[in-house]
Amino acid sequence: MKARQIAAGVFALGAIDWDRRLFDSLIPLPDGTSYNAYLVQGSEKTVLLDTVDPAKKHELLAQLASVPRLDFVVANHAEQDHSGALPDVLARYPEAKLLASTKAKGILLDLLEIPEERIVTVDDGEELSLGDKTLRFIHMPWVHWPETIVTYLSQERILFTCDLFGSHLAASALYADEGSVYEPAKRYYAEIMMPFRRAIVRHLEKVKELDPALIAPSHGPIYQRPAFIIDAYADWVSAPPRNRVVLPYITMHGSTGDMVERLVGALMERGVAVEQFNLTATDIGKLAISLVDAATIVIGTPTVLGGPHPSVLAAAHLASALNPKLRFASVIGSYGWGGRAVEQIAGIISCPDIEMIAPVLCKGLPREADFAALDSLADTITSKHKEMGFV
């Protein structure tokens, strides 16, 4: 990929990773991803904003072959998919200084062993003149690491946001197709940004005050209409949950599956939307997306060695770690001779914002009394959604 101009003296660099299918050895990438870097050439100074994943550093270095001098490199975020090529870039440009937040400096020293004398820290709101262009550095901690900054090019009103507003999407288009990018952007938010939604609420106000003409993240396409992604984030972080139940489950011999089928049908009859996920085959990214707007999670599990199925434990941990706007939770499932499935799951997902609704457990196969209890659970969920105004 060659460098592509987005404004006078401003170029998009980096690499499209069409074939990558897993991030952090955890997150599925059904649409691949990209690692975006940006070159800003002023009348006096030249700056590179972020780099790329080490696996793609040869592409970035090839794009920089025609750039004779770099005065500065900005590390908006220290994670290796953006910082991994920094040692190579700094080795090619020995005169360049690396600009980062104070917290990023320590992380970069630990992760990449960059010589400390090459790093210059920048304060919140500090500006850097490039001659006819001015960069402003704005601290935005916890989107999604504590050291994160964004960089604003004042004259062109371009906001370089690194991970904030990103999307894991490999696409040849430089600019976002809003219909195509919405789900990858929501997936990215759900998997990476949602745990920090309370911090993002504050940072969105800073972004709105800047009134950017372009938002240029370091994953996925550039937004020519920033309101599209800003408004989407405002909805994801702040809007009330919707009248929706997320139901991840495992069934081993069919009993829990029968219970899931009955509960899903009962909720649908009562006008409650349901998203059902069989954890033996679920894309956890899809599960994460569903949690963004859901009011309730019901976890279905058989009992394995006295506790929940291990895959259910992982899903419960994910739901807790992602910190969605859930208001209610419950557990359904079956057991053979006893166990602590409910207690273990409740211990993982319980928090002050979530009300636990009485579980429905059956011994062996579910019978009429158990199905009646599931209908009653559907009644309770529907009633609580109505009380909260979600219906």
pLDDT in tens, 111-135: 999 999 999 999 999 999 999 999 9
Write the class of the CATH domain 242-385.
alpha beta
Averaged pLDDT score across all residues of the chain:
96
pLDDT of residue 336: 85
Q: What is the mean pLDDT of residues 343-348?
A: 91
CATH hierarchy code of domain 4-238 = 3.60.15.10
| pLDDT for residue 342 | 87
pLDDT of 344 higher than 80: yes
- Non-local CB neighbours of 342 within 8 Å, separated by 6+ positions: 331, 359, 361
Q: Which residue has the higher pLDDT, 219 or 307?
A: 219
Of the pLDDT bands very low, low, confident and very high (cuts 50, 70, 90), residue 368 is: very high
* Residue range 137-164: mean pLDDT, rounded: 98
**Residue spans per domain, the chain:** 4-238, 242-385
Query: What's the pLDDT score for residue 341?
Result: 87
Residue among 62, 127, 109, 128 nearest 89 (CA): 62
DSSP calls for 287-329 = HHHHHHHEEEEEEEEEEETTEE-HHHHHHHHHHHHH-----EE
N- to C-terminal Cα separation, the chain = 48
Average pLDDT over residues 40-64: 98
Sorting pLDDT into bands at 50, 70 and 90, what band is 97?
very high
Is 390 within 8 Å of 241 (Cβ atoms)? yes
Is the pLDDT at 338 greater than 80? The verdict is no
Task: Give the per-residue pLDDT at 33.
Answer: 97
pTM of the model: 0.95
How far is Cα 165 from Cα 172, in angstroms, rounded to an integer? Answer: 18
Cis peptide before 144 (omega within 30 of 0): yes
Q: Which helix (H) or strand (E) holds 176?
A: none
pLDDT greater than 90 at residue 207 = yes
295 vs 30: CA distance, rounded Å:
26
